[in-house]
Structure 1
Amino acid sequence: MKAKRLFSLLLAGVMTSTLLAGCGGNDTPAASASGASSSAADSDLAKVQEAGKLKIGYTVYDPMNYTDPDTGEFTGFDTEFAQAVCEKLGVEPDFIEIVWDTKQIELEGGNIDCIWNGMTITDDLKAAMSISDPYVQNTQVVVTKTENKDTYSDYSNLIGKTVALEAGSAAQSVAEEDENLSQANLVTVSKQTDALLEVKSGTADAAIFDKTMAENMIGEGTDFADLTICGVFHEEQYGIGFRKDSDLCDKVNEIMAELKSDGTLQALADKYGLTLAE
């Protein structure tokens, strides 16, 4: 009886060990699969390729993203640039109009995959998101009525005056830090074009504006023929914004380098009158 009982105990021990070993064996592949799944879930690039489209946040900004009044076609430097990148990614571009001041909320909330709209690279934005390599040189300029050009070319004459600018823009940041313009009455608007309307109507004395847009929207033959640039304010570069540490940023940088190398970006810059970043 003792031998039989001993044999039963030994058999039970072997079975228990086998079961425990079996459970341990199943844990390892499961953990590995879970890790792989987690890695894929964290990849913006994988999500975009799986969805088959890249959601691009933009505002109407001639010559970057706008509708051609003659053809009705949505076009622009950034529009064509994004289309070329999407072609290499094997996805379709999905352009989604946003309010510029809420761009980070839209990005972090997943409503868009990137901000691709002549976005000025700043230290604050670099801390909040991943930004592509610079691709276009730009300048902030002060725009006013032609009759006031000489007066406001000296920015100290804007102290106490009303200056319009886009909320959340680079123009707002640099104006708030400037010795003279910080003492002006800075009025924010939702779009850069609204800043021009403020000056045109006389409710603002000047506006701070992207040079790339100003050169396309003011002067002879435009709706703002009575406005002019009275001074260069701030040098800057444009970049594309992605969620912090997004692998999509690295991939777009890789494709951007290819498009620079093969001349595609230079051809677009020539077409839209822009200067590529060095």
Structure 2
Amino acid sequence: MSSIRHLFAAAAVTLALGVAAPQAQDLPDLAGRTIVAVTENAYVPLNFADPATGQGVGFEYDLFNEIAKRLNAKVDWQLASWDVMIQAVRDGQFEVGMDGITINDERKAQIDFSDSYLTSQQLMLVRADETRFTDAATFAPNADFLVGAQAGTTNFYVAVYNVLDGDEANPRIKLFDTFGASVSALQSGDVDTVLMDQTSANGYIGANPGAFKVVGTPLGAEDFGFILTPGSDLVAPINAALTAIKADGTMDQLQQKWFYEYNAAQ
């Protein structure tokens, strides 16, 4: 766990560097506007349903609620599956979307992004007793080893191009409707690894003691951003609030809550 903590500590420092915090009065005032935001509730610890209450909780919930508070806005939380989320935000059904969505050029051509609110790395999550392979290089040659993924996600493309042979139709990639379903398949032995960012891997390991571990080295870094309808007038206000949140220590506090304290409590 020490290496994971070091990674998050480094990420927190990176997020906080180089930006002076705007004063509260310098932030845009949205005059009580209601922002329609969407997530999936299937990405521990970013967004998920609290088992005790059924309410949506997680790092992204807390972060965006804090953004709205600073902008004098309210949030109308909605749910949608990952496979329709980007299109729904693009069409204006929702104003803002979040689900650990990686900022990349292909998506930038479809939607607007906020600044990055989290930098994470892709890792190979495996069952805790896995000994047949130790990294991507020893996984790839054995045709019997399977990867679980959601189509169109960063995890899927990293599996295709960084672990396997670049064939997006490779039958070694088993597709699932939700991220949680792919992890369940890993736990039951239906697949042999699921690729995920450091944030999520840390969450699943913490929530399921003795069930999972990470093997190999990071397969690359990715920046997460909120997605917005093209031309949205919310991009600049959200970025201004993010700048303040990163600079005044609030981002560090949220990371501590969800990436350390939450896992320790499981």
TM-score by length of 2: 0.75
**2:185 maps to 1:185:** no
Is it true that 1:87 corresponds to 2:72 in the alignment? no
**CA offset digits 1:216-260 (Å, max 9, x no partner):** 1136x62x7332212332211111111223221111101111222
In 2, the alpha carbon distance for the partners of 1:94 and 1:52 equals 10
Offset of 1:63 from its aligned partner?
Answer: 1.2
Check the 8 A contact 2:145/2:172 in 1, yes or no.
yes
How far is 1:158 from its partner?
Answer: 4.8
Aligned to 1:163: 147
Q: Return 144-153 or 206-215, whichever deviates more.
A: 144-153
Relative to structure 1, is the Cα distance of residues 255 and 179 closer, same or farther in structure 2, using a 3 angstrom cutoff? Answer: closer
2:26 corresponding residue in structure 1: none
Q: Which sections of structure 2, spanning at least 5 residues, go unmatched?
A: 1-29, 261-266
Contact 2:204 2:212 (8 Å CA) reproduced: no
Structure 2 matches for 1:105-184, cutoff 5 A?
105-149=87-131, 151-153=133-135, 154-178=138-162, 180=164, 182=166
- Which has the higher mean CA deviation after the structures are superposed, 201-210 or 224-233? 224-233
CA distance in 1, matches of 2:69, 2:187: 41
Q: Which has the larger radius of gyration?
A: 1
Deviates more, 1:115-124 or 1:180-189: 180-189
Whether the aligned pair in 2 keeps the contact of 1:160 and 1:184 (CA below 8 Å) is no
SS in 1 for 2:215: strand
- Against the structure 1 CA distance between its residues 103 and 72, is the aligned structure 2 distance closer, same or farther, given a 3 Å change threshold? closer
1:227 aligns with 2:212: yes
| Kept in 1: contact 2:58–2:258 (CA 8 A) | yes
The amino acid that maps onto 1:56 is: A
Q: In percent, how many aligned pairs have the same letter?
A: 22
Equivalent pair of 1:129/1:241 in contact (CA under 8 Å): yes
Deviation at 1:212, TM superposition (A): 0.9
Q: What's the offset of the Cα at 1:51?
A: 8.5
- TM-aligned CA distance change 1:158 to 1:243, over 3 Å: farther
Q: Which runs of 5+ in 1 are unaligned?
A: 1-48
Return the match for 1:75 from 49, 57, 63. 57
- Displacement of 1:186: 0.9
For residues 80-105 of structure 1, what are the alpha-carbon distances to aligned partners after superposition, in whole Å with 9 as ceiling and x for unaligned?
Answer: 11111111232211221111111122
TM-score by length of 1: 0.72
CA distance in 2, matches of 1:179, 1:68: 33
2:46 to 61, 64, 68: 64
Quick check: 1:63–1:77 contact (8 Å CA) kept in 2? Answer: yes
How far has the Cα of 1:179 moved from its partner?
5.6
Q: Which amino acid aligns with 1:268?
A: L
State the structure with bigger RCO (CA 8 A, min sep 6), 1 or 2.
2
How far 1:117 sits from its partner (Å)? Answer: 2.4
Structure 1 residue aligned with 2:191:
204
> Which position in structure 1 is the counterpart of 2:11?
none
Q: How many residues matched?
A: 226
Deviations 1:199-227 (A, max 9, x none): 122221221123211211136x62x7332
Q: 1:248 aligns with which of 234, 248, 251?
A: 234
More helix by share: 1
Residues 96-149 of structure 1: per-residue CA shift (max 9 Å, x gap): 111111112211222211112221112211222111111211111112222324
Contact 1:130 1:242 in 2 (8 A): yes
Say whether residues 1:53 and 2:53 are aligned partners. Answer: no
Per mean C-alpha deviation after superposition, the further-off stretch among 139-148 and 251-260 is 139-148
* C-alpha separation in 2, matches of 1:130 and 1:158: 40
In 2, Cα distance between the equivalents of 1:218 and 1:157?
26
Q: Is the 8 A contact 1:56 1:113 kept in 2?
A: yes
Partners of 1:93 and 1:230 in 2: CA distance: 39
